[in-house]
Amino acid sequence: MKVLVINEPFVKDFCRTQRWAARTRGRVLRPPDWLAYSAAVLEQAGHDVRLYDFPAMGWDKEKLAGIVAAEKPDAVVLDSTTPSIFSDIECARIIKEHSSAKIVMVGPHASALPEETLELGADAVDIVCIGEYDHTVRDVLANLNRPGSVPGIAHRDGKKIRRTGNRPLIEDLDSLPFPAWKHLDLKRYFDGGKLYPYIDIIAGRGCPNQCGFCLWPQVMHGTRYRFRSSQNVVDEIEYDLKLFPGLKRGEFFFEDDTFTVDRDRAIGICEEILLRGLKITFSVNVRADTADAAMFRVMKRAGCRELLVGFESGSQAVLDACHKRITLEQSCTFMKTVRAVGLSVHGCFVIGLPGETDETARETLRFAMSLGCDTLQFSGAVPFPGTRFFQDSEKNGWLKTRDWRRWLADGEQKGIVAYPGITEERINHYVDQGLRDFYLRPAFMLKFLFSTRSLSDLYRKLRGAWNFFKYQCRSIFGRS
């Protein structure tokens, strides 16, 4: 069967695979890692697969129509996010107009609202795979004439929409093939905070923490962490290095929700890297309550450059309200520990979580500046469907709109909630102010320039700086 797996077009620079689907302020563009897994599983099952990433290629919907008409696929897998869902469904209709393909939609929005997605999709979207979809898509394509036999989907049955039983999460992650990166041009992807070129690697799925706003564990991969073996993870690193030799001067990013959630497992991966003599650079997501100097030293020896940490807020009341389960004191202790080891820290903060006021937002900006992070990001809070944050926002009247088309500001990430103590406009104001306060400091700019490691590092820094400058011009003057 000929299958197209598509990261479909939307607004320019739209990044689906990050936790806040939007055009980011730094114009980050990540490879479609989950789709690449699905494409690899379908190839393993014997299908003729093409993986297309339209945002990375700068292709539009006219190009989509041309590819579909030329390829004549039997089935097409489309991703979905909340801000792009109407455009995603329009892409499904374009495919239907130019082929007889079955349309299978995956991703967080369709997973959270499968019946609504099928209703909005009318006759364009045939099947929605709910949650972790690697094996679900494979099984759907093997049973197109009787989709009701496949667990973990919603589908059309005549004029009715039916949902099948729950599908267990994949337990043996080592059994999955490596992502089908061969279909993609790695040079197309960019993150100013990471060495260039870079690639994602996912060493485990799920997260045991209960952050009320976090999309992936609640909607896609569950709150129980499932691990790949250290050997399998490092096998993939070696595979990627052979596929893209340029990664030797670039970076691997472990996209696990919390790489250090299991100390022994984190150290095990690092020891396997050292055992094989791999000279790589990598960065990881961690929590502020994992201040373990011995573990960090092993990680650094193995090539770890940077820790990405969700500090989220400078207000303990806001942290408690969103069930972050960390304290401000832990964040400060974490920074002291990391500084002693010599790792870089990228601090992640969110403005507009439950309980936010003008004063707590200012506390967050002050706290962020005081920690001594190497780089920072601020995001406006978005309560995605399927999360506790979304349920609370609807219940309490915090959500400004349920019209998914209004969830972005001309493609830009923004907050879409308001509280008695702060407006939506003020939330977005503090996001921009925090970025300006941090990145426009002379001390940061000098360190930024004089810590350059190579020509490729200079490239990513200049490109990142230009992206930031363009965003700030747009923010201040209303134009790009």
Structure tokens at 95: 């495919």
Q: Is residue 211 part of a domain?
A: yes
pTM, 2 dp: 0.93
6 CB neighbour count, 10 Å cutoff: 25
Q: What is the DSSP string of 311-350?
A: EE-S-HHHHHHTT----HHHHHHHHHHHHHHT-EEEEEEE
Q: How confident is the model at residue 441 (pLDDT cuts 50, 70, 90)?
A: confident
Give residue 457's identity as a one-letter amino acid code: D
pLDDT at 27: 86
Domain end (from 125, 145, 163): 163
Residue scoring higher pLDDT (54 or 476):
54
pLDDT at 300: 98
Phi, psi (degrees; rounded to nearest 5) at 458: -65, -40
Q: Cα–Cα distance between 151 and 130 in angstroms, integer?
A: 9
Residue scoring higher pLDDT (475 or 46):
46
275 CB neighbour count, 10 Å cutoff: 12
Would you say residue 479 has pLDDT above 50?
A: no
Q: Cα–Cα distance between 246 and 355 in angstroms, integer?
A: 45
**360 and 234 belong to one structural domain:** yes
Give residue 241's identity as a one-letter amino acid code: L
**261 and 357 belong to one structural domain:** yes
Domain end (from 113, 147, 163): 163
Q: Is residue 168 part of a domain?
A: no
pLDDT at 476: 61
Would you say residue 363 has pLDDT above 50?
A: yes
Among 22-26, 104-108, 301-305, 475-479, which stretch is predicted with the lowest mean pLDDT? 475-479
**359 and 399 belong to one structural domain:** yes
Largest interatomic CA distance in the chain? 64
**66 and 207 belong to one structural domain:** no
pLDDT at 451: 72
pLDDT at 480: 40
**313 and 202 belong to one structural domain:** yes
Q: Which residue has the tokens 């303990």?
A: 316
Would you say residue 473 has pLDDT above 70?
A: no
Would you say residue 465 has pLDDT above 80?
A: no
Structure tokens at 186: 């790695």
Residue scoring higher pLDDT (21 or 467):
21
**156 and 259 belong to one structural domain:** no
Q: Is residue 157 part of a domain?
A: yes
Instruction: Decide: helix, strand or coil at residue 188.
Output: helix
Note down the domain range covering 227.
Answer: 191-452
Q: What is the pLDDT of residues 256-274, one digit of tens each?
A: 999 999 999 999 999 999 9
**152 and 239 belong to one structural domain:** no
Would you say residue 343 has pLDDT above 90?
A: yes
8 contacts 78 by C-beta, under 8 angstroms: yes
Q: Is residue 467 part of a domain?
A: no
Structure tokens at 113: 């609202």
Q: How confident is the model at residue 158 (pLDDT cuts 50, 70, 90)?
A: confident
Residue scoring higher pLDDT (446 or 21):
21
Would you say residue 470 has pLDDT above 70?
A: no
61 contacts 1 by C-beta, under 8 angstroms: no
Q: Is residue 223 part of a domain?
A: yes
Q: Is residue 24 part of a domain?
A: yes
**157 and 271 belong to one structural domain:** no
Q: How confident is the model at residue 426 (pLDDT cuts 50, 70, 90)?
A: very high
Q: Is residue 443 part of a domain?
A: yes
Provide the domain count of the chain. 2
Rounded mean pLDDT, 395-421: 91
Instruction: Decide: helix, strand or coil at residue 12.
Output: coil
Closest CA to 472 of 443, 437, 427: 437
Q: CATH number of the domain that 380 lies in? A: 3.20.20.70
**134 and 275 belong to one structural domain:** no
State the first-to-last Cα distance of the chain, in angstroms, to the nearest integer: 44
**20 and 148 belong to one structural domain:** yes
Residue 432 forms beta bridges with which residues?
Answer: none
Rounded mean pLDDT, 370-386: 95
Would you say residue 194 has pLDDT above 80?
A: yes
pLDDT at 445: 73
Cα three-residue angle 130-136-139, rounded to 5 degrees: 145
51-to-1, 5, 16, 31, 32 alpha-carbon distances in Å: 14, 5, 15, 11, 9
Q: CATH number of the domain that 75 lies in? A: 3.40.50.360
**285 and 202 belong to one structural domain:** yes
Q: Is residue 203 part of a domain?
A: yes
**394 and 294 belong to one structural domain:** yes
Q: What is the pLDDT of residues 211-228, one digit of tens each?
A: 999 999 999 999 999 999
Would you say residue 85 has pLDDT above 50?
A: yes
Rounded mean pLDDT, 446-456: 70
Give residue 105's identity as a one-letter amino acid code: M
Rounded mean pLDDT, 434-450: 81
Quote the mean pLDDT of the chain. 93
Would you say residue 192 has pLDDT above 90?
A: no
Would you say residue 413 has pLDDT above 90?
A: no
